Amino acid sequence: MGSNRRALEISLERIRADEALNAWSYLAEGEARLMAAESDARLESGLSRSPIEGHLVALKGNIAVKGWPFEGGLLNRRGLVAMQDAPFVRRLRQAGAVLLGQTSMDVGALGAEGRSIDGPIRNPRRRTHSVGGSSGGSAAALAAGHVELAVGSDTVGSVRIPASFCGISSLKPSSNRIELDGVLPIHSDFDHVGPMTSRAALLQPLLSTLSGLPHSVVHSAKSVDKILSGRPMGFISDAAALGTTPKVLHYYHLGLDRLRSLGARLVAVELAPLDPARTRRAVFSLCQRAMAEQHRDGLTKTPELYSPEVRVMLEYGASLGLDKLQDFRARIWRFACAVQGVMRPLGALVLPTTPDQAFNFNRPTPTDLADLTVIATAAGLPAASVPLPTGDDLPAGLQIITAQGEDLLACELATRFESGA
């Protein structure tokens, strides 16, 4: 048996043992075995297609994979099957990756709790706690060692929040870096396809595959060194004012110390005056409006297929008038301009990914989960999340924001940070 087929069988054993995590909504075992065997044959012949040849990949449940369920965590889509692959899924196949299955997600990708229609998605680091969301199943599969690569979607923080809670890496790319065809939408202005990986070093090859970049296109070491030792890197001096807890603040300062040891010249910036929480509410309100329009008929004909919480969100979205929507758009635009102004002299901006660590499912869901991830969302900038040094069974994340189009730089900075070299 080849190495990829052995790795697949080991993964399936782990998944069966970890069924209580609720990380997976669908496993394509037969298809994956065939793909693994084909990959082993290519490797034995010296015909590897890419750096991710043979790697097992998990895909979020709102992504179209031909012949797989295409439900997006919604009861009203139960039984629907994708008729064709999303374009980036075809690229995964062409790269020789092994598509293992589909991961659980928050209902309609509308939340960050880590609760699917089949129940809570449990954090492998501490099973009483949330994985975050909405790409929580993908993060759980990575943190549990089921796979090394996963694909999620990020609208207001949905690959970065789970990365922070589960101790894995992820990237919200620049707008339009990866096309959204074949992904169930929330709002076209904010939706992104996001690579998620067990190690930061895998972000760049997965991003290159998903976006169709040649794998030879990487940031030169000189350009990264220039950021680390030349242009200043911003850090937020008012993290506590933005709701960051003392514990995460302590880990954040440890992360800043690591960056300094790598040669980074850190300069303080303040973001609290920009009121990210207010912007997060504006972005989410526009998302609720867009989803209300998409589900107008379903809410009318089959309201019982929507949970009370989802109905409340959609009804609020439907209630928003034109003036209110214009106010929200203007607020987001002003915020984006301000963030881009802060970024202009900087090589990168680093801040905690989430204000706190994973929360216990027995406690109320925090309202500020996306207060720090919305910064890059609203400004249209790429943002990587990489684990901070914590020494804790509950991880925390460092968010690295770079200029528009500098996605590969964000990946490389995350890799340097993780390795400490």
**Rounded distance, CA 252 to CA 244, Å?**
10
> CB-based contacts of 360: which residues, under 8 Å, 6+ apart?
128, 129, 130
Active site residue 60: yes
> What b-and-e string marks burial along 93-119, b requiring 16 or more CB atoms within 10 Å of the CB?
bebbbbbbbbbbbbbbbbbbbbbbbee
Strands 56-60 and 149-154: parallel
Which residues does residue 102 pair with via DSSP β-bridges, in sequence order?
A: 26, 59
Distances (CA, A) of 59 to 56, 80, 104, 296, 383: 10, 16, 9, 27, 20
Separation between Cα atoms, residue 205 and residue 210, nearest integer Å: 9
Amino acid at 41: A
**Residue 158 known to be catalytic:** yes
Q: Which of 158, 170, 198, 385 is catalytic?
A: 158
25, 39, 60, 211: the active-site residue: 60
Provide the token pair at 66: 């031909």
Catalytic position from the list 134, 198, 285, 385: 134
Helix/strand/coil (H/E/C) assignment for every residue in 85-149: CCHHHHHHHHCCCEEEEEECCCHHHCCCCCEECCEECEECCEEEEECCCCCHHHHHHHHCCCCCE
Q: Which positions are catalytic?
A: 60, 134, 158
